[in-house]
Amino acid sequence: KAGVTQTPRYLIKTRGQQVTLSCSPISGHRSVSWYQQTPGQGLQFLFEYFSETQRNKGNFPGRFSGRQFSNSRSEMNVSTLELGDSALYLCASSLSLGRGFNEQFFGPGTRLTVL
Amino acid sequence: QQQVKQSPQSLIVQKGGISIINCAYENTAFDYFPWYQQFPGKGPALLIAIRPDVSEKKEGRFTISFNKSAKQFSLHIMDSQPGDSATYFCAASAGANNLFFGTGTRLTVIP
């Protein structure tokens, strides 16, 4: 079974631009979560999508948004990029069969550099 | 505010030794405590996880010890190997699919 895939793997943008990152979850997984990883702040939860609806949201500004499609694929968008948005953006998928935490499988991430 | 505190930041262990990483939390609503292993260029991979009704869980060379009253948990890697050299993250979840991660421990196992 193929793992979580993320595209692109590397991205360079300039301040003020916007960016869209894509995530394809493991087949059959309905939940997709996004995390930001930086050396200073570590791994921080951005949001989770389940059945095309945002189910949980972390403490990030509105410039960070996402969506999920009917095939469970997800995209996240960052508008008006700032230097501090440079990070590794990780996507994780899970079966999400019931209440509580379900094991999350992470993709390799997209390395975003903002110049 | 860091909801899960992790130490040490880095750790160097001789091959065959025991690696110990500690984490502490404050939120008593946390009910799931996984440990993740991350190699350079890769996403985190689940190593082992525990729920607060269990004080210890062992899987191969990896053991989680959990102290509910102290709100602390730790990862022990027995017989550490050079292939274990990676960054380890503790995490916690409060009944939802969002994880609060510790700051990570870079483990180096010297041959």
DSSP for B60-71 reads: TTEEEEEETTTT
> What are the chain B neighbours of A58 within 8 Å (beta carbons)?
98
| Confidence tier at A40 by pLDDT (50, 70, 90) | confident
In this structure, what token pair is assigned to residue B83?
């292939």
| Confidence tier at A98 by pLDDT (50, 70, 90) | low
Interface contact flag, B97 A56, Cβ < 8 Å:
yes
pLDDT tens readout for residues B19-35: 999 999 999 999 899 99
- Interface contact A76, partner B, CB < 8 A: no
Q: pLDDT > 70: what percent of chain A?
A: 94
**Chain A with chain B: Cβ pairs closer than 8 A:** 69
B36 and B44 in contact (C-beta within 8 Å)? yes
Average pLDDT over residues B86-107: 91
> What are the chain B neighbours of A101 within 8 Å (beta carbons)?
31-32, 34, 93, 95-97, 99
Residue carrying the six token digits 């193929």: A2
CA distances in angstroms from A89 to A25, B16, B72, B110, listed in the order given: 14, 35, 28, 31
Three-class SS of residue A95? coil
> What are the chain B neighbours of A108 within 8 Å (beta carbons)?
41-43
Interface contact flag, A109 B31, Cβ < 8 Å:
no
Three-class SS of residue A83? helix
d(CA A9, CA A112): 8
- Position B96 scores a pLDDT of 73
Report the residue of chain B nearest A99, measured CA to CA. Answer: B95
Interface contact flag, B97 A101, Cβ < 8 Å:
yes
| Confidence tier at B98 by pLDDT (50, 70, 90) | confident
